[in-house]
């Protein structure tokens, strides 16, 4: 008996703009990671956060194409926000931003781009609105491919504030390393 099942696949594009108060970027690799875990940690450099004293901006972009194997792509940018206040009329400045990008299924092989100097510009088109326009410019290095890549991103998203303890691994919480490369389904 032959059974054919047709599923309609949907492309997913996710853009998350998260403000995390009372946080800091984790920079020290934990001890005791095996080689596989070390590669995952490095692929996520500058994107994990914990309790601290800064206000951070986490930009998380994820896309995948229906029916295409290994099409999941991620871009993560994390930086510190200066002059941020939820009801402020001014647009905050993003400093010390880092970017990581690659194929979600290949991070463990070392195939990803890293930049420790991403330029992030924020613009609030309507005062008091949580909609924000984001522009990111960076050049990332891929040590696996031995090549660099320019990134220019421009998108609009809704700012949402999430405390450190509520962040998923994808968003920058301290959950499992593999969960860092895509949102939970």
40 with 178: CB under 8 angstroms?
Answer: yes
Reported pTM: 0.88
Could you read off the pLDDT of 89-111 as tens digits, one per residue? 668 899 999 999 999 888 888 89
Beta strands 49-51 and 54-64, pairing class: unpaired
pLDDT tens, position by position, 121-141: 999 877 767 789 999 999 999
Hey, is 23 helix, strand or coil? strand
What is the distance between the alpha carbons of residues 102 and 71, in angstroms, rounded to a whole number? Answer: 10
Q: Structural domain boundaries of the chain?
A: 13-170
Closest-CA residue to 139 (of 130, 147, 150, 129): 150
The pair of structure tokens assigned to 140 is 């990332």
């Amino acid at each position: 008996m032959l059974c054919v099942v047709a599923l309609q696949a949907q492309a997913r594009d996710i853009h998350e703009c998260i403000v995390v108060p009372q946080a800091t970027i984790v920079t020290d690799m934990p001890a005791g990671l095996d080689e596989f875990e070390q590669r995952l940690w490095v692929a996520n450099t500058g994107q994990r956060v914990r309790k601290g004293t800064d206000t951070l901006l986490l930009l998380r972009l994820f896309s995948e194409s229906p029916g295409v194997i290994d099409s999941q792509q991620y871009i993560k940018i994390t930086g510190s926000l200066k002059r941020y206040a939820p009801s402020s009329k001014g647009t905050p400045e993003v400093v010390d931003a880092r970017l990581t990008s690659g194929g979600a299924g290949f991070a463990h092989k070392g195939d990803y781009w890293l930049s420790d100097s991403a330029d992030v510009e924020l613009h609030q088109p309507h005062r008091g609105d949580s909609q924000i326009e984001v522009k990111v410019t960076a050049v990332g290095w891929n040590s696996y491919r031995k090549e660099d890549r320019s990134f220019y991103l421009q998108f609009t998203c809704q700012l949402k504030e999430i405390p450190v303890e509520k962040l998923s691994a994808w968003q920058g919480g301290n959950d499992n390393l593999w969960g860092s490369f895509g949102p939970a389904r």
